[in-house]
């Protein structure tokens, strides 16, 4: 038996030499001290490393290195050994087992004895082999078929049933290869009393270790200065020594430690011993406890409670919490608070500006309809629903363009829908191109972006559920439901959709209410009077609806943001690493609750108010725009480990087929350049589009050239005409009368540099020119005009224009979208109560503290218009906070417009003391802003001891002042600021209409009896 493992034993022949001598016939048998010592050494060698080894469960389970059992039986006993192939491709023993036979077992047939050896082995090795592929080798060949036979004894049949629990394969080997089990079977002494021997007596063999040996952990701990001192103190029995170890707050006492079985251990408060773990093994210990086979990815608290009973190392609490947070499996599997984006309502100011479209499935009806194409106007809330049999591109397009647009005379500027194949297809694309309708698609898996249409679908379902008696006839009830919907006042407008569009209330038959026979419109009114009244009513209705919509929209946004606890500080920013949710993952698997739907890692390259554009790290993949609530921001310490889902997140909708490109003579090409020979071809200098876009532009719109008098109002017409005019009036070598004379004569003196601004004007005004300029690299050929060869100059101007356009696109910063926040003086209290007006939210700001709080509320706004308050209790700290908030707003792409509070008699002295603070604050903000982000509109200069204000008095403090400063003053202040900061492109604050509905029910001019007092003279120049 010992010789079988001699290849693993160092100096085996030298150690076993005293025993080999006794095997010779010429030597007298004498068992003395050398033989006893050699026998003890051999037993130690085969029961310790490298002969005896630990089992590798994972390798055995996978089948790469299965367990191997050798069994044998003799008339004296039974022997078995559990082995496994090691890294050296050799079989190493794991467990030795043997037992003597009882008197009854000695009378078994030899085949039954071998079978008994198999049963003994599987029972003894059950903890290792249960559920794991195992090979059992025996030198008794009939045993290989014994457990598969039917005509066996009851005892063997019972054993056969017990073996069914194991994944066992019985193989035959020759007796020479089974020497270890054979030796074990002959080793046990006779069981004199005939009782079953205790089978736990040999279990210690599998766990045998070298007593007094130094473990790997202890060797590493000795390399650490602090632990080395403790180990030396323990060995020298210096229990009173106190040592400071790195990572501990308090010194450690040597009396609390002991070296046991070659390991450094520490006494806990309850008297139990725990292992001291060196630095290299700490993460592996944590990984086994947190993510091992017998672990469950529990929280750091639970892992700590488990580990602290077994191991200890300094900063163990800190390390376990850190590594738990870095666990990728926990990060994607544990529920986390979603990143909630703020509500971003869609702003419309007139009917049919945007219509929302969606498809609703309600089931097959008796007439063959299955779906509903639902359409709603965002401004008036007028809705329509058309039952259709299928959702093909042709069917949906007919419902939208024939029934909504053609039949109803409702021509929209834009269509908003999701990316379903019924909306994103070639049919819709071609029709929209002809009709010049813009199609806006929502982002993938984001129905909230088309929320008004989704809400309409819910209303339709609710109405049909309440009114339909036979479910298969819902399409017969649908028109009546939509009639009721459009005749009922809507909560967001306060009026019925029918009234918003037509200016009159709808009439409907009633069996209870008596109908009036004569309308008041027919009494003493001509058609002109009726038309005037209707027009006044519609204009006023639209104005009121705009204001009402603004208030409702802002109220809904505030309620949504408050209810969902929107925290902008937790939104991803440019540079963050995120995981992206793939909602389709769970729908395409048989076990959705066990599926991971997060993939990554992605980098944020651009952010908007409620979404982020991301791209995968380490790949040259196409960026995706993802809503915030489908992102998870990774902690900074989290690794960039890749994680994938079974399905990839892509754009919904039908894949566009490749179009066949027909090569014609007039085709634009990047390689050969454009060949232009016809005036009807876009790009020709005499080309005019069907819409006459350049006829609507004026010569004064051309940048860099001043046209005198009436010439400035002449239409551009064509690029050729504008080029001739710009070449003449842009010259600097002749005077103006000479220029006018040359232009009227029709003289042509072309200047290459004059063509570039005209191309830019055409690019901005005409879609046909835009498409041509974007798709053309150069001009290869252009037909001469009036015998002038224009090809070379045209080509140079085009190249210069595209180079300038590329630079502008690179330098154009990200513009933050959102409404305008107007921080105004006390005179704007009425505007503040009215809420949002025309995209402008007014707030009264009396102090710098109020301004700081208001800026926090306006973090989602695109532009801040700030009127610096008259606050003589200002503090440097508060102004720094305001400047920091504004710098952050500018960094996100926002814009800021500042003005000074209008100077009137009541605040003149305070105004003089504070204007220096305002000016300094403007300069601080200017340092944080890039071009076209910050627009200061006010200033002051002191000349000979007298100060002159640019915007203060009299421009902004106009008709009223003091106690008469009211809503008109605040609105005029905003308009003054808007005119002074034209580049900021501030929206117009809508003024209230001149007519209102009086209590008599008609449309009449309001009587304005109150007249404001005459404004006294006030000199703005203050000493």
Ordered by start, the domain boundaries in the chain are: 47-207, 354-510+522-532, 573-655, 674-811, 820-1005
Cis peptide leading into 50, omega within 30 of 0?
Answer: yes
The pLDDT assigned to 995 comes to 34
3-state secondary structure of 239: coil
Reference 836, options 555, 561, 562, 568; nearest CA is 555
Q: How far apart are alpha carbons 92 and 94 in whole angstroms?
A: 7
Query: For domain 573-655, which CATH number applies: 3.30.70, 3.30.450, 2.30.30, 3.50.70?
Result: 2.30.30
Cβ-Cβ contacts under 8 Å for 274 (sequence gap 6 or more): 265, 266, 268, 308, 309, 310, 311, 312
Contact 895, 933 (CB under 8 A): yes
Provide CATH code, domain 354-510+522-532: 3.30.420.10
Q: What is the dihedral of CA 348, 349, 353, 357, to 10 degrees?
A: 40
Q: According to the model, what pLDDT value does residue 828 have?
A: 82
Name beta bridge partners: 474: none
CA 15 – CA 35 distance, rounded (Å): 10
Cβ neighbourhood burial of 981 (10 Å; 0-12, 13-18, 19+): buried
- Report yes or no: 536 and 529 within 8 Å, Cβ to Cβ: no
Max Cα-Cα span within the chain: 150
- Mean pLDDT for the stretch of residues 724-733: 86
Which is nearest to 722 in space by CA: 756, 764, 692?
A: 756
Pair 395, 386: CB distance under 8 Å: no
C-alpha pair distances (Å), 459 with each of 377, 726, 964: 15, 59, 49
> Does residue 54 or residue 823 have the better pLDDT?
823
* E-assigned strand segments in 608-709: 611-616, 624-627, 631-633, 674-676
Mean pLDDT of the 829-842 span: 79
Environment class of residue 707 by beta-carbon count within 10 Å: exposed (0-12), middle (13-18) or buried (19+)?
buried
How confident is the model over 205-229, as a mean pLDDT? 69
Q: How far is CA 699 from CA 423, 683, 749, 760, 768, in A?
A: 41, 19, 17, 13, 20
User: Out of 146-160, 300-314, 459-473, 515-529, which region has the weakest mean confidence (pLDDT)?
Assistant: 515-529
Bridge partner residues of 316 (DSSP): none
**Residues in contact with 319: Cβ distance below 8 Å, sequence separation at least 6, in sequence order:** 282, 283, 286, 313
pLDDT > 90? residue 487 = no
In 3-state terms, what secondary structure has residue 701?
helix
Does pLDDT of 83 surpass 70? yes
What's the chain's Rg over C-alpha atoms? 45
Integer Cα distance of 349 and 990 in angstroms: 11
- Whole-angstrom CA distances from 752 to 687, 747, 765, 1012 are 19, 16, 21, 59
Distance of CA 209 to the CA centre of its chain: 54
- Alpha-carbon span 767 to 694, nearest angstrom: 11
Assess whether pLDDT exceeds 50 at residue 867. Answer: yes
Distances (CA, A) of 593 to 334, 580, 597: 12, 18, 10
Lowest mean pLDDT among 62-66, 447-451, 1003-1007: 1003-1007
pLDDT tens for each residue of 943-991: 455 544 544 434 444 333 333 444 557 778 888 888 888 888 888 775 4
Give the C-alpha separation, 115 to 99, whole Å: 14
pLDDT classification of 1009: cutoffs 50, 70, 90: very low
Cβ 53 vs Cβ 86: under 8 Å: yes
**How far is residue 517's CA from residue 527's CA, in Å, rounded to a whole number?**
19
* 37 bridge partner residues: none
Report the distance separating Cα 45 and Cα 231, nearest Å: 29
Rounded CA-CA distance 246/268 in Å is: 20
3-class DSSP assignment, residue 631:
strand
CA distance 83 to 46: 13
Residue 385 pLDDT more than 90?
yes
Angular region, 385: left φ>0, alpha ψ -120 to 50, beta rest: beta
Considering only CA atoms, which of 262, 257, 268 is closest in space to residue 230? 257
Q: For position 955, what pLDDT does the model report?
A: 41
For 47-207, which CATH class? Answer: alpha beta
47-207 and 354-510+522-532: identical CATH topology: yes
Query: What is the average per-residue pLDDT within 669-681?
Result: 68
Is the separation of the CB atoms in 493 and 541 below 8 Å?
no
Lowest mean pLDDT among 42-51, 227-236, 433-442, 865-874: 42-51
Q: Do residues 751 and 731 make contact, with C-beta atoms less than 8 angstroms apart?
A: yes
Phi/psi zone of residue 132: left (φ > 0), alpha (ψ -120 to 50 degrees), beta? beta
Lowest mean per-residue pLDDT among 94-98, 128-132, 222-226, 1015-1019: 1015-1019
Which has more pLDDT, 590 or 946? 590
Please enumerate in sequence order all residues whose Cβ is within 8 A of that of 567, keeping only pairs 6 or more positions apart, or say none: 340
Do residues 640 and 646 touch, judged by C-beta distance below 8 A?
no
pLDDT computed for residue 268 by the predictor: 84
* 8 Å CB contact between 276 and 266: yes
DSSP state of 1006: P
pTM of the model: 0.40
């Amino acid at each position: 038996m010992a010789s079988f493992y001699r290849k693993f034993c160092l100096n085996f022949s030298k150690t076993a030499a005293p025993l080999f001598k006794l095997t010779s016939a010429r030597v007298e048998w004498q068992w003395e001290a050398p033989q006893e010592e050699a026998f003890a050494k051999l037993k130690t060698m085969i029961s310790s490393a490298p002969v005896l080894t630990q089992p590798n469960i994972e390798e055995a389970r996978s089948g790469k290195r299965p367990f191997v059992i050798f069994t044998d039986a003799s008339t004296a006993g039974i022997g078995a050994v559990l082995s496994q192939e090691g890294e050296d491709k050799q079989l190493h023993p794991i467990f030795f087992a043997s037992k003597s036979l009882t008197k009854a077992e000695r009378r078994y047939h030899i085949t039954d004895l071998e079978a008994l050896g198999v049963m003994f082995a599987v029972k003894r090795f059950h903890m290792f082999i249960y559920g794991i592929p195992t090979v059992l080798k025996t030198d008794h060949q009939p045993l290989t078929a014994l457990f598969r036979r039917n005509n066996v004894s009851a005892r063997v049949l019972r054993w056969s049933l017990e073996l069914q629990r194991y994944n066992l394969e019985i193989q035959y080997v020759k007796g020479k290869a089974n020497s270890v089990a054979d030796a074990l079977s002959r080793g046990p002494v006779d069981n004199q009393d005939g009782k079953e021997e205790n089978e736990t007596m040999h279990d210690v063999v599998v766990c045998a270790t070298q007593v007094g040996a130094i473990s790997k952990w202890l060797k590493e701990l000795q390399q650490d200065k602090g632990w080395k001192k403790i180990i030396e103190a323990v060995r020298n029995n210096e229990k009173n020594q106190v040592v400071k170890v790195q990572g501990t707050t308090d010194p450690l006492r040597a009396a609390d430690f002991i070296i046991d079985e070659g390991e450094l251990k520490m006494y806990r408060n309850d008297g139990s011993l725990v292992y001291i773990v060196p630095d290299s093994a700490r993460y592996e210990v944590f990984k086994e406890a947190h993510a091992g086979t017998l672990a469950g990815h529990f929280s750091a608290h639970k892992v700590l409670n488990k580990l602290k009973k077994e191991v200890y190392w300094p900063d163990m609490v800190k390390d376990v919490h850190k590594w738990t947070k870095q666990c990728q499996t926990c990060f994607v599997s544990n529920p986390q608070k979603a990143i909630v984006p703020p509500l971003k309502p869609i702003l419309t100011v007139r009917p049919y500006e945007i219509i929302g479209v969606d498809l609703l499935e309600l089931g097959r009806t008796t007439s063959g309809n299955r779906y509903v194409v639902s359409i709603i106007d965002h401004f008036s809330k007028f809705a329509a629903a058309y039952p259709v049999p299928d959702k093909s591109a042709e069917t949906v397009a007919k419902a939208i363009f024939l029934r909504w647009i053609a039949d109803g005379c409702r021509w929209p500027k834009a269509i908003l829908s999701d990316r379903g194949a019924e909306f994103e297809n070639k049919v819709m694309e071609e029709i929209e191109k002809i009709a010049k309708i813009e199609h806006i698609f929502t982002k993938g898996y984001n129905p909230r972006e088309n929320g008004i249409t989704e809400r309409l679908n819910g209303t339709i379902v609710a109405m049909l559920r309440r009114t339909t008696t036979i479910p298969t006839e819902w399409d017969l009830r649908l028109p009546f439901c939509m009639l009721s919907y459009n005749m009922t006042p809507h909560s967001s407008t306060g009026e019925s959709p029918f009234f918003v569009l037509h200016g009159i209330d709808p009439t409907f038959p009633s069996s209870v209410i008596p109908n009036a026979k004569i309308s008041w419109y027919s009494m003493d009114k001509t058609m002109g009077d009726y038309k005037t009244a209707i027009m006044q009513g519609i204009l006023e209705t639209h104005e009121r609806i705009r204001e009402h919509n603004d208030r409702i929209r802002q109220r809904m946004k505030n309620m949504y943001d408050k209810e969902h606890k929107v925290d902008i500080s937790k939104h991803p920013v440019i540079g963050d690493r995120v995981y992206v949710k793939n909602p389709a993952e769970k729908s395409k698997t048989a076990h959705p609750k066990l599926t991971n739907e997060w993939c990554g890692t992605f980098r944020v390259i651009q952010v908007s108010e409620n979404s982020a554009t991301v791209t995968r790290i380490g790949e040259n993949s196409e960026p995706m725009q993802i809503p915030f609530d489908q992102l998870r921001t990774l902690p900074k310490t989290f690794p960039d480990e890749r994680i994938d889902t079974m399905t990839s997140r892509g754009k919904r909708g039908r894949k566009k087929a490749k179009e066949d490109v027909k090569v014609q003579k007039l085709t634009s090409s990047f390689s050969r350049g454009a060949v232009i020979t016809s005036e009807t071809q876009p790009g020709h200098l005499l080309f005019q589009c069907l819409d006459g876009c350049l006829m609507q532009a004026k010569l004064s719109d051309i940048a860099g050239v001043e046209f005198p008098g009436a010439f400035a109002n002449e239409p551009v017409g064509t690029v050729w005409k504008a080029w001739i005019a710009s070449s003449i009036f842009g010259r600097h070598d002749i005077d103006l009368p000479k220029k006018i004379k040359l232009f009227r004569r029709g003289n042509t003196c072309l200047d290459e540099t004059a063509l570039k601004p005209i191309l830019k004007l055409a690019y901005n005004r005409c879609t046909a020119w835009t498409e041509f300029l974007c798709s053309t690299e150069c001009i290869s050929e252009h037909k001469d005009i009036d015998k002038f060869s224009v090809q070379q100059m045209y080509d140079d101007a085009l190249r210069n224009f595209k180079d300038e356009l590329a630079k502008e696109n690179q330098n154009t910063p990200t513009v933050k979208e959102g409404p305008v926040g107007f921080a105004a003086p006390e005179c704007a209290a009425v505007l503040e109560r009215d809420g949002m007006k025309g995209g402008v939210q007014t707030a009264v700001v009396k102090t710098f503290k109020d301004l700081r709080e208001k800026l926090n509320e306006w973090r989602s706004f695109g532009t801040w218009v700030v009127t610096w308050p008259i606050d003589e209790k200002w503090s440097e700290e508060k102004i720094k906070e305001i400047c920091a908030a504004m710098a952050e707003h500018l960094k996100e792409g926002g814009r800021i417009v500042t003005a000074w509070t209008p100077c009137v008699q009541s605040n003149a002295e305070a105004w003089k003391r504070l204007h220096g603070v305002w000016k300094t604050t403007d300069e601080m903000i200017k340092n944080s802003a890039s071009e076209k982000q910050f627009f200061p509109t006010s200033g002051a200069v002191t000349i000979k001891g007298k100060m002159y204000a640019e915007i203060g008095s009299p421009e902004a403090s106009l008709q009223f002042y003091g106690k008469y400063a009211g809503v008109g003053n605040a609105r005029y202040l905003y308009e003054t600021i808007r005119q002074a900061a034209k580049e900021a492109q501030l929206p117009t604050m809508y003024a209230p209409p001149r007519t209102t509905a009086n209590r008599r029910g008609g449309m009449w001019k309001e009587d304005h009896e109150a007249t404001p007092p005459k404004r006294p003279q006030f000199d703005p120049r203050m000493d």
